Amino acid sequence: MTQATDERTARKEYIRRRQKTVFGIAGAILVIALVISLLFFFHVGGLGNVKSTAVQPNYGHQAPCAIKDTDGKAKYVENRNITLRVLNGTKFSGFAKAVSDALQNREFNTQTPGNYTKKIDRTMIVFGKNGINQAYTVASNFTDAMLVMDDRQDQLVDVVVGATFDNLADVKSVPAAGKPITSIKGCVTADKMTNLSKASEHDAVNPQS
């Protein structure tokens, strides 16, 4: 009888030791997991930091510097002195007309809007060498547009609305005419802009209703 009691006691002691071991290991794992989680949460050593792609100036496209006046300053142009045309580069019908009307309300001289030859993501402000400051002025009314120079000789500025367009910049944030233009970082003088696309490549395919 004494032997059976000793065996039960020994078995219970063995079970208790196993439970302590299992609980100890589980507790250690939980502590380690908590420590690792805290390291990521507080970005210790850079852990958990999400690397975001830096947006390049003009979204990676070469752009001309703004043209300086005789006083050595480049200045924004009066909206009423700029003629522009809005082209729809999205799948949404009537988009160009809506944007054109909004720009007309800001006193730009707008031509009949149209549809672009293809669908694009990023809104483009397209212009020639004689409309650089005008293009900078138009671009200041957008939050996500890039400047694209082609070989046109006139001062017409085309606004090709892309899929990322959401709304025009708030009027209060748009620089007033006569204010100095801050040229795009990494810009070059107009005469160094090479391999320009043909103006016809940025034309409308048909008027938009």
Q: Is the pLDDT of residue 6 over 80?
A: no
Within a 13 Å sphere around the CA of 134, how many CA atoms are in the beta-carbon half? 22
pLDDT tens for each residue of 48-102: 554 434 579 999 999 999 999 999 999 999 999 999 999 999 999 999 999 999 9
Query: Phi and psi at residue 193, in whole multiples of 5°?
Result: -75, 115
Q: Is the pTM of the predicted complex or chain greater than 0.85?
A: no
If we measure between CA atoms, which residue out of 193, 195, 180, 201 comes closest to residue 129?
Answer: 193
Distance CA 117, CA 208 (A): 12
